[in-house]
Structure 1
Amino acid sequence: MKHSIVIADDDTHVIAALKLLLRSEGYDIQAVTSPQGLLDAIKQREFSLALIDMNYQQDTTSGFEGLALIKAVKAVDNSLPVVVMTGYAGVDIAVQAMLQGADDFVQKPWDNDRLLRVLLTQIRLAESEKKGGQLIEQNNLLMQEVSSANSAIIAESAEMSLVMSQLEKLAASDMNILLTGDNGTGKSMLAEHVHAYSSRNQCAFIAVNMGAISESLFETEMFGHVKGAFTDAKSTRIGRFELAQSGTLFLDEIGNIPLSQQGKLLRVLESHSFEKVGSSKTQQANVRIISATNAPLDELITEGRFRQDLLYRLNTVEIRVPALKERVADIMPLAHYFLIKFGKKYHLESLGFDEKATAALMSYHWPGNIRELSHMVERAIFLRQAELISIEDLGLADHVSSNTACQFDFESATLDEIEKHIISQRLHKHDHKPQETSTSLGLSRSSYYRRLEKYHFKVV
């Protein structure tokens, strides 16, 4: 990476000499001749270091302009290393500059070797401090997520195979993706999969649960803050957008963002830039956004609780993740995966599931999806009474008994009884959703409602 240095000095001869020296060492150089010029420059782009003179047009010896400039620079970007050049009053002014926030100093006329050593040292120190801060934040995030580690991707069903095929094609692009579907269907795992298959996979994947961020902390969590930005800001904090730089930012539970904060997120997505809280320095946001929700965003937009323009930015492509009950072919492969996973974790071996347990797992409707299956298998490993896990170990005995008690005798039933039974099954299967239920029965909407009334089903 080529390091950039901004030089501030009102003497064009000094600037020319510094440019010649520093460019020969491979630095990218920008020069300005006034304090305001320096402040404008560091607000517009990133620099590795600022090399500034202590005296400008107002006076030639006091160094007051330089001291004020150091303070102003640190207010814009507290992490930018500042090296000052002193031509008068020597060490006294240098000491004051260090107290004001400068990182080192050189005296005019400078020694080339010492100047180069000072600059390189300060650049490396700043890089190390920034990487340390990023590692701390990333480690904190990993510690928060370790208890909810993702399961392996199993996609033997046609429904899930189609989703995986779509996502692997999208991974090659840089489009924003919105994942929709019920809780517990594995949306965060799929987001990580897209990142792993993308060109950004050598950079960070940062996940954030938007529903867990309070409204008052939204900006500092997402964009970071500088030291002293508010009462408790005792150190500079790196936000999620900066942590995900050049990588992928996964925004889970996107429908839970407070309306008052949605405009701030939209602004970043539109301009690809942001500012830390307490700083006027604009930073670039080169991240790929993958978001997820189980909320009906169209309904939230109608109710005025979610911005439509934000949805347009998030859902360049929308992928619905099927519920577990829709991908029956994946149930037993997932169950065996969890059996092996938790068996190793707890050093408890089990040979598998008996026939009744397998039948129960396949017939259960899984309201909690993959997450529920994972918890059920984990619990059953401890509760099992034999080598094979039974329906009692799974806690599904009541479910099976209920299904058995409700078995229908088609041979002796009347036509109306058969029709009522089938409608009841379809209502349960489609969660009483009119469109899905009527379509599955091959009925028009009016015919569907007439039958609900005929058989005294609750009309939704």
Structure 2
Amino acid sequence: MDGQADIRAALALVLQAEGYETAGAASPAEAALLLDAGGFDAMLLDLNFHADTTSGEEGLRLLASVVAVRPGLPIVVLTGWGSVELAVRALRAGAADFLEKPWENTRLLTVLRSQLARARAQRTVGSLTSAASAGAILGTSPPMRAVLAIVAKIAPADVPVLITGESGTGKGLIARHIAQVSGRRDKPFVTLDLGSVPETLVEAELFGHARGAFTDAKAERIGRFEIADGGVLFLDEIGNASLATQARLLSVLEDGLVTRVGESRPRRVDVRVIAATNADLGALITAGRFRQDLLFRLNTVEISLPALRERGDDILVLAAHSLETAARKHRRPVTGFAPDALAALAAYPWPGNVRELSHVIERAVLLAEAGTVRAGDLRLVEPTTAPLERMTLDQAERYLIQRAMVEAAARRLGLSRSAFYRRLATLRT
């Protein structure tokens, strides 16, 4: 939203050309009405609505109210009256990013895509949390109990943490949970996905830059380390960092000093770093693509998240919670799973982990024709190659037995395995 009609029109043209649907608001009251109507995935917010005001207070108040009502909505602050101090206030109040007018279309779209992708990922792993207890992690399987026992011990300790695990296991959620139960719970929690930022911009994002530091540096910019001062900085996909970025990260972790690109004066920060990766950092070290000394600094404590296929009955617990969440979100009268759906959920290897489970359940809730999700509504397509090499012996045995039972039943009926699942989905309970 922006107080000037021409600015709103220009933004709409840029965004609509990329396929986004837009709606504009000229005041906080109009913005509130639009948000109440729902259906928005992100918000571009000007901090000043009148040409004669430059304090940003009106925009900051709206920002705070939107964050309180829609905490998961990415808000990118866009203003021509920006300053480092105002940027810090906006970002600490809950804004996802901060851009100055006149904006650069490429930069604007890059930031927006990144924030939308991050919001989608957060929503899909949201099945890990209990709606009734903010910050509580769903799951009672032995692997998850072990993870939560480690989290309980190390969260109060002000040390770096490295979270490893396959994509979609909820690494970002565990990072936020650690921050929420630590002594920094009331301080900023700042994130940067190193896999979504172009390499040329990573150091400016992390450490900030001075005006004129490079061709497109038209104004000074504060980095994520300074924004997170006193709080937690979550660096996702740390394995994507270049060796040059790794060297600078190591320096900050060692001495607590950051230097903006284009400046020589260091600034002291107090930041707890939590990093995450789905890469094998040991293999990257062997290949000369990751610094061993940085790994030692990052993994004072390492938490390895189990894959969903390793979590046994947690699959059905998470599925039930995802169903409840999706049914409420889409106002669908779906209340449970048919036996064939429960069997399919338990037998599927879930290569995409919790993120895949959340997508599958949400789609099934939309497709279900009755109040119960059936196996056919799940539309599970078994991977062409089962991930046996990534399973324990017990897990592989369980998977192969389940698959053999399905194949035997299908063969006895003269059906293919996929046809068997389709027939199973038509059974009435």
Q: TM-score range by the shorter chain?
A: 0.5 to 0.7
Match of 1:409 in 2: none
The answer as to 2:345 corresponding to 1:361 is yes
Unmatched runs of 5 consecutive residues or more in structure 2? 1-81, 99-111, 130-136, 398-429
Shift of 1:429: 6.3
Q: How many residues align?
A: 286
Which whole-Å deviations, capped at 9, do the CAs of 1:411-434 have from their partners, x for residues lacking one? xxxxxxxxxxxxxxxx9564277x
Alpha-carbon distance in 1 for matches of 2:313, 2:336: 17
Match of 1:268 in 2: 252
Question: Is the 2:351–2:387 contact (alpha carbons within 8 Å) kept by the matching residues of 1?
Answer: no
Output the amino acid matched with 1:133: A
Query: How does 1:125-144 map onto structure 2 within 5 Å?
Result: 129-137=83-91, 139-141=95-97, 144=115
Match of 1:235 in 2: 219
Which has the higher Rg, Structure 1 or Structure 2? 1
Question: Is the 1:155–1:164 contact (alpha carbons within 8 Å) kept by the matching residues of 2?
Answer: no
Which whole-Å deviations, capped at 9, do the CAs of 1:228-263 have from their partners, x for residues lacking one? 323322222111101110101111111111123211
Unmatched runs of 5 consecutive residues or more in structure 1? 1-127, 403-426, 442-460
Match of 2:389 in 1: 431
Alpha-carbon distance in 2 for matches of 1:357, 1:184: 22
TM norm structure 2: 0.62
Alpha-carbon distance in 2 for matches of 1:245, 1:294: 26
Give me the identity figure in percent. Answer: 43
Alpha-carbon distance in 1 for matches of 2:248, 2:351: 35
Q: 1:373 aligns with which of 346, 350, 357?
A: 357
TM norm structure 1: 0.58
Which whole-Å deviations, capped at 9, do the CAs of 1:129-152 have from their partners, x for residues lacking one? 544212444513497133333411
Alpha-carbon distance in 2 for matches of 1:326, 1:203: 34
Question: Is the 2:388–2:396 contact (alpha carbons within 8 Å) kept by the matching residues of 1?
Answer: no
The answer as to 2:194 corresponding to 1:207 is no
Match of 1:417 in 2: none
Query: How does 1:59-138 map onto structure 2 within 5 Å?
Result: 129-137=83-91
Displaced runs of 4 or more, over 3 A: 128-131, 135-138, 427-430, 436-441
Output the amino acid matched with 2:312: V
Match of 2:241 in 1: 257
Greater CA drift, 319-328 or 149-158: 149-158
Which whole-Å deviations, capped at 9, do the CAs of 1:71-124 have from their partners, x for residues lacking one? xxxxxxxxxxxxxxxxxxxxxxxxxxxxxxxxxxxxxxxxxxxxxxxxxxxxxx
Output the amino acid matched with 1:200: R
3-state SS in 2 of match to 1:211:
coil
Question: Is the 1:274–1:283 contact (alpha carbons within 8 Å) kept by the matching residues of 2?
Answer: yes
Output the amino acid matched with 1:264: R
Shift of 1:440: 8.7
Question: Is the 2:164–2:304 contact (alpha carbons within 8 Å) kept by the matching residues of 1?
Answer: yes
Alpha-carbon distance in 2 for matches of 1:148, 1:299: 26
Question: Is the 1:177–1:314 contact (alpha carbons within 8 Å) kept by the matching residues of 2?
Answer: yes
Question: Is the 1:187–1:292 contact (alpha carbons within 8 Å) kept by the matching residues of 2?
Answer: yes
Match of 1:166 in 2: 150
Match of 1:43 in 2: none
Higher RCO structure (Cα 8 Å, ≥6 apart): 2
